[in-house]
């Protein structure tokens, strides 16, 4: 699986021509080759752009203009961002207007408001109109069935049917005629031709019923599709719009989050959500961070700890210093990244678009052939053949086929985000199923990333007891900022004594005098240099070092007093996470810059059979290439900063524990917002499930099309049956795609 950009290339497939007004649950983005000159970034709202068919019209109108850098469509918000030279922007707007659309400029604030309110339903108030259309269509059917077949009744029935078609199909006809004028076939064009043809050949009751059923089914389908969109929109609503902020006079005032400056001190009470990111300055509490990290277990917070917007304060009042503006919080960056991910198209979606671009014209040609050839060569009646052709036009709509992929992808992205897994595009969501191996950085990924005291014992026949050794060692270690010394000081429970003549011994340890006794706290080298290492001590140190531990010794005038082993311990869930990867058939490989002995020791404890130590960044890149040759598609998991080259080299890069880290969010393709290594296996499982649902939907849509194609030509399928089948298939694939959200709705 080669690493590829998820963006749609210029001149790529435009299968959206065949999509109907709501076959557009995902957004699309087109990137252009960079051209010289300044860039003007402009965002416009286009109210009538609610489908990828409209997007295709606009793209065709704007692409030929010189100076266009990129077109970034957000169909969910009906917006288009144009990256272009200033002069090209005006030309692009004029081209959009000529194509029949009215672009309106958007300010950043209006863009934010638009995102906050989600999809805009221009037909939200159309329930009464569609109900009236359905009643009139039923009345037309009744007139045709029960009334005498006389001119006055037929005229009256045709008038009723005409009103029903007008109430239900005005928008369809408007868009359909525009598509036909441009020489394009979409569902609006097909329905316009089919309904008009049925009316002309005397099937006016059926024409009215088909248009009413189509409009109602389209509205129901739009609501179903919005559920996938709203799963993303729900993230926006997690952070409250205001917060209590301390004023200069010490009082507290509730202010809009957007007006709160970085550095201000805010307050959150028990049970409230945090409006902004910050660092705790006063109070202790437990914070439910599941909206950001996906963790269901609350995390204890005290002064100095970070907190994130959208999380819930379980108990205890907290004051925190604001560290990010409302539009730049961790939650805001997650929302932005997910919205950008919706703008990418997964491989299956690109395939379906290409297929649909060919499918619709082919079926249209077949419909024309059915209308003309059988009467000429098989003796069929012209009206019968024409009616069958009109039924085929309705069946030609690839609604269920086209809508099946974006709804499923958006649902998968939303499901991942609610679990604290930020997948930066449908390509990575779908391709994760192909992974055969995962390269894991050791420090901070398999291990905690911070050394801890894991073993301590007194040494030799000195008269010092264990408490004395603890006290002396902690007193020296507490004076040093070295990570090993800090781990010893934090791991020993004891009071601290005064230290005189304290000094650092570079590369060896520290020294000082306590109670008149000269002491050193140092490494293996220091003890050897002082002649204090006997055979027994050497063996003890070697045993610890074989386990990947760093040994530190406390020594004084009485000889060696104590031995301390420090190690970077593996994560509590590491062994289980590795087992999950193996169960999925994915080989875990650990890559570490630490020495070989340490790497092997950690790997054994985590259950990893393939571990490589002593690797420089370039060595990790070479290891990634070797793994690809051996396994095929591979991923790299690291902290997203020092592992950035390896993350970029892998087919999919996972950044671990990236909550609040800008660099980590940018460095990888999948961002694990917490430190749970098991999320990698969960991503692979979600990818496999998403891919399965995609092909279930495609198979279902094509099977229904095939059955009704045969019925239309050789059976007794009617137009309203075809509408039911087409829209029913669309609703089925939408519902199937939404299954990915099950269990993650909040």
Distance, in Å, from the CA atom of 470 to the CA atom of 490, rounded to the nearest integer, reads: 11
Q: Predicted confidence band at 639 (pLDDT cuts at 50, 70, 90)?
A: confident
Q: Which pair of structure tokens corresponds to residue 744?
A: 């993650």
pLDDT at 282: 93
Strand partners, 9: 31
Q: Predicted confidence band at 680 (pLDDT cuts at 50, 70, 90)?
A: very high
Among residues 58, 111, 107, 66, the alpha carbon closest in space to that of 86 is found at: 66
Q: Predicted confidence band at 658 (pLDDT cuts at 50, 70, 90)?
A: low
Q: Output 339 or 144, whichever has higher pLDDT.
A: 144
In the chain, CATH 3.40.1110.10 covers 449-569
pLDDT at 38: 40
Backbone angles phi, psi at 391, to 5 degrees: -65, -40
pLDDT at 588: 96
pLDDT at 218 over 60: yes
Active site (annotated) includes residue 441: yes
pLDDT at 15 over 50: no
pLDDT at 237: 63
pLDDT at 107: 55
Alpha carbon 703 to its chain centroid, in Å, reads 31
pLDDT at 177: 83
Distance, in Å, from the CA atom of 33 to the CA atom of 343, rounded to the nearest integer, reads: 18
Asked if 709 and 199 count as a contact pair (C-beta separation under 8 A), the reply is no
**Range among 124-133, 252-261, 529-538 with highest mean pLDDT value:** 252-261
What does the DSSP assignment read for 462-497?
Answer: -S--HHHHHHHHHHHHTT--SHHHHHHHHH------
Asked if 72 and 83 count as a contact pair (C-beta separation under 8 A), the reply is yes
Asked if 51 and 225 count as a contact pair (C-beta separation under 8 A), the reply is no
pLDDT at 474: 93
pLDDT at 729: 79
CB-based contacts of 174, cutoff 8 Å, min separation 6: none
Asked if 473 and 521 count as a contact pair (C-beta separation under 8 A), the reply is yes
Q: Predicted confidence band at 118 (pLDDT cuts at 50, 70, 90)?
A: very low
Q: Which of 59-63, 337-341, 595-599 has the lowest mean pLDDT?
A: 337-341
Q: Predicted confidence band at 51 (pLDDT cuts at 50, 70, 90)?
A: low
Asked if 677 and 581 count as a contact pair (C-beta separation under 8 A), the reply is no
Strands 634-638 and 437-441, sheet pairing: parallel
pLDDT at 322 over 90: yes
Among residues 538, 550, 533, 556, the alpha carbon closest in space to that of 486 is found at: 550
Q: Predicted confidence band at 291 (pLDDT cuts at 50, 70, 90)?
A: low
Mean pLDDT of 344-357: 68
The 3-state DSSP class for residue 681 equals: helix
pLDDT at 433: 94
Q: Predicted confidence band at 473 (pLDDT cuts at 50, 70, 90)?
A: very high
pLDDT at 642 over 70: no
pLDDT at 104 over 60: yes
Q: Predicted confidence band at 22 (pLDDT cuts at 50, 70, 90)?
A: very low
Neighbours of 688 (CB within 10 A): 15
pLDDT, mean over the chain: 79
Asked if 468 and 457 count as a contact pair (C-beta separation under 8 A), the reply is no
Mean pLDDT of 277-288: 91
Q: Output 573 or 357, whichever has higher pLDDT.
A: 573
Q: Predicted confidence band at 340 (pLDDT cuts at 50, 70, 90)?
A: low
pLDDT at 432: 94
Mean pLDDT of 248-261: 92
Distance, in Å, from the CA atom of 534 to the CA atom of 528, rounded to the nearest integer, reads: 9
User: Which tens digit of pLDDT belongs to each residue from 495-514?
Assistant: 899 999 999 888 788 999 99
**423 exposure class (CB count in 10 Å sphere: 0-12, 13-18, 19+):** buried
pLDDT at 235 over 50: yes
What is the chain's percent helix, strand, coil content, to nearest 5?
50, 20, 30
Percent over 70 (pLDDT), the chain: 80
pLDDT at 225 over 70: no
**Range among 237-251, 303-317, 402-416, 577-591 with highest mean pLDDT value:** 577-591
Question: CATH top-level class for 449-569?
Answer: alpha beta
Distance, in Å, from the CA atom of 107 to the CA atom of 89, rounded to the nearest integer, reads: 16
pLDDT at 689: 93
Q: Report the residue count for the chain.
A: 746
Q: Predicted confidence band at 110 (pLDDT cuts at 50, 70, 90)?
A: very low
pLDDT at 154 over 70: yes
Distance, in Å, from the CA atom of 303 to the CA atom of 31, rounded to the nearest integer, reads: 45
Q: Predicted confidence band at 36 (pLDDT cuts at 50, 70, 90)?
A: very low
Distance, in Å, from the CA atom of 10 to the CA atom of 91, rounded to the nearest integer, reads: 19
Asked if 660 and 277 count as a contact pair (C-beta separation under 8 A), the reply is yes
What is the arrangement of strands in the sheet containing 559-570, beginning at the earlier edge strand? 447-458, 559-570, 550-556, 517-522, 509-514, 500-505
- Please give the span between the terminal C-alpha atoms of the chain, in angstroms, as a whole number: 35
Q: Predicted confidence band at 641 (pLDDT cuts at 50, 70, 90)?
A: low
pLDDT at 121 over 50: no
DSSP 444: I
Q: Predicted confidence band at 124 (pLDDT cuts at 50, 70, 90)?
A: very low
Among residues 356, 335, 45, the alpha carbon closest in space to that of 185 is found at: 356
Mean pLDDT of 631-658: 81
Q: Which of 236-240, 598-602, 688-692 has the lowest mean pLDDT?
A: 236-240
pLDDT at 260: 93
Percent over 90 (pLDDT), the chain: 21
Q: Predicted confidence band at 243 (pLDDT cuts at 50, 70, 90)?
A: very high
pLDDT at 295 over 70: no
pLDDT at 228: 54
Q: Output 533 or 653, whichever has higher pLDDT.
A: 653
In the chain, CATH 2.70.150.10 covers 242-328
Q: Output 444 or 543, whichever has higher pLDDT.
A: 543
User: Which tens digit of pLDDT belongs to each residue from 178-206?
Assistant: 777 777 777 777 788 888 888 888 888 88
pLDDT at 685: 95
pLDDT at 83: 85
Residue where the block lists tokens 């051209």: 35
Q: Output 411 or 24, whichever has higher pLDDT.
A: 411
pLDDT at 76: 57
Q: Which of 109-113, 344-348, 548-552, 555-559 has the lowest mean pLDDT?
A: 109-113
pLDDT at 746: 39
Q: Predicted confidence band at 617 (pLDDT cuts at 50, 70, 90)?
A: confident
Selecting among 27, 441, 639, 675, the annotated active-site residue is 441
pLDDT at 236: 59
Among residues 475, 472, 448, the alpha carbon closest in space to that of 458 is found at: 472
Asked if 609 and 599 count as a contact pair (C-beta separation under 8 A), the reply is no
User: Which tens digit of pLDDT belongs to each residue from 68-100?
Assistant: 888 877 765 678 888 888 888 889 998 888 877
pLDDT at 271 over 70: yes
pLDDT at 481 over 70: yes
CATH architecture of 242-328: Distorted Sandwich (2.70)
pLDDT at 373 over 80: yes
pTM score = 0.67
Distance, in Å, from the CA atom of 313 to the CA atom of 556, rounded to the nearest integer, reads: 50
User: Which tens digit of pLDDT belongs to each residue from 694-746?
Assistant: 889 888 888 888 887 888 777 777 777 777 777 777 778 878 888 887 754 43
Mean pLDDT of 9-20: 33
């Amino acid at each position: 699986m080669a690493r590829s950009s998820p963006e749609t290339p210029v001149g790529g497939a435009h299968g959206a021509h065949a999509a109907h007004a709501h076959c557009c649950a995902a957004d699309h983005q087109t990137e252009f080759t960079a051209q010289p000159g300044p860039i003007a970034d402009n965002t416009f709202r286009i109210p009538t752009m609610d489908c990828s068919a409209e997007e295709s019209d606009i793209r065709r109108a704007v692409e030929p203009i010189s100076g266009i850098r990129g077109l970034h469509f957000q169909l969910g918000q009906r917006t288009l961002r144009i990256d272009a030279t200033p002069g090209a922007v005006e030309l692009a707007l004029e081209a959009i207007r000529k194509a029949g659309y009215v672009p309106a400029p958007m300010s950043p604030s209006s863009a934010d408001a638009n995102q906050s309110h989600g999809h805009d339903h221009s037909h939200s108030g159309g329930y009464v109109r569609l109900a009236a259309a359905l009643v009139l269509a039923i009345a037309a059917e009744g007139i045709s069935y029960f009334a005498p077949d006389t001119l006055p009744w037929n005229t009256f029935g045709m008038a009723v049917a005409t009103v029903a078609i007008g109430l239900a199909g005005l928008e369809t006809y408007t868009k359909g005629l525009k598509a036909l004028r441009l020489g394009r076939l979409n569902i609006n064009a097909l329905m316009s031709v089919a309904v008009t043809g049925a009316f002309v050949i005397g099937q006016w009751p059926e024409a009215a019923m088909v248009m009413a059923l189509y409009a109602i089914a389209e509205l129901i389908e739009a609501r179903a599709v919005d559920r996938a969109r709203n799963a993303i929109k729900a993230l926006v609503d997690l952070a409250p719009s205001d917060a209590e902020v301390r004023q200069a006079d010490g009082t507290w005032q509730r202010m809009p989050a957007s007006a709160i400056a970085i550095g201000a001190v805010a307050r959150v009470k028990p049970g409230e959500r945090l409006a902004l990111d910050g660092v705790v300055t006063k109070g202790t509490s437990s914070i439910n961070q599941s909206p950001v990290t996906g963790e269901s277990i609350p995390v204890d917070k005290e002064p100095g700890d970070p907190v994130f917007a959208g999380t819930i304060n379980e108990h205890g009042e907290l004051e925190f210093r604001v560290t990010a503006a409302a539009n730049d919080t961790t939650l805001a960056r997650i929302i932005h990244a997910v919205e950008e991910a919706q703008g990418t198209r997964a491989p299956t979606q690109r395939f379906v678009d290409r297929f649909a671009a060919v499918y619709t014209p082919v079926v249209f040609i077949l419909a024309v052939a059915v209308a003309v050839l059988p009467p000429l060569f098989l003796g069929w009646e012209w009206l019968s053949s024409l009616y069958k052709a009109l039924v085929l036009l309705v069946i030609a709509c690839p609604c269920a086929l086209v809508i099946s992929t974006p709804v499923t992808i958006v649902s998968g992205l939303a499901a991942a985000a609610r679990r604290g897994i930020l997948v930066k595009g449908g390509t990575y969501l779908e391709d994760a199923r192909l992974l055969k191996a995962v390269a894991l950085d050791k420090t901070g990924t398999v291990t905690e990333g911070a050394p801890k005291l894991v073993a301590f014992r007194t040494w030799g026949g000195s008269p010092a007891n264990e408490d004395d050794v603890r006290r002396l060692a902690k007193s020296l270690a507490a004076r040093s900022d070295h990570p090993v010394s800090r781990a010893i000081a934090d791991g020993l429970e004891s009071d601290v004594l005064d230290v005189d003549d304290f000094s650092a011994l570079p590369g060896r340890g520290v020294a000082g005098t306590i109670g008149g006794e000269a002491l050193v706290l140092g490494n293996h080298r220091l003890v050897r240099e002082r002649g204090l290492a006997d055979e027994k001590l050497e063996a003890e140190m070697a045993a610890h070092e074989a386990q990947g531990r760093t040994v530190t010794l406390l020594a004084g005038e009485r000889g060696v007093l104590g031995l301390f082993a420090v190690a970077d311990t593996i994560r509590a869930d590491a062994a289980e996470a590795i087992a999950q990867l193996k169960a999925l058939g994915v080989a875990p490989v650990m890559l570490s810059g630490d020495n070989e002995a340490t790497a092997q020791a950690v790997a054994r404890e985590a259950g990893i059979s393939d571990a490589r130590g002593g690797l420089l960044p370039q060595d990790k890149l070479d290891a990634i290439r070797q793994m690809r040759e051996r396994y095929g598609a591979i991923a790299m998991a690291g902290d997203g900063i020092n592992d950035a080259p390896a993350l970029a080299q892998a087919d999919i890069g996972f950044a671990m524990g990236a909550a609040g880290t800008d660099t980590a969010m940018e460095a990888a393709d999948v961002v694990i917002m917490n430190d749970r290594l098991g999320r990698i296996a969960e991503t692979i499982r979600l990818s496999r499930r998403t891919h399965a649902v995609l092909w279930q939907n495609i198979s279902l849509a094509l099977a229904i099309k095939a059955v009704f194609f045969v019925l239309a030509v050789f059976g007794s399928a009617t137009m309203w049956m075809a509408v039911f089948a087409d829209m029913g298939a669309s609703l089925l694939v939408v519902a199937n795609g939404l299954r990915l959200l099950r269990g993650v709705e909040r």
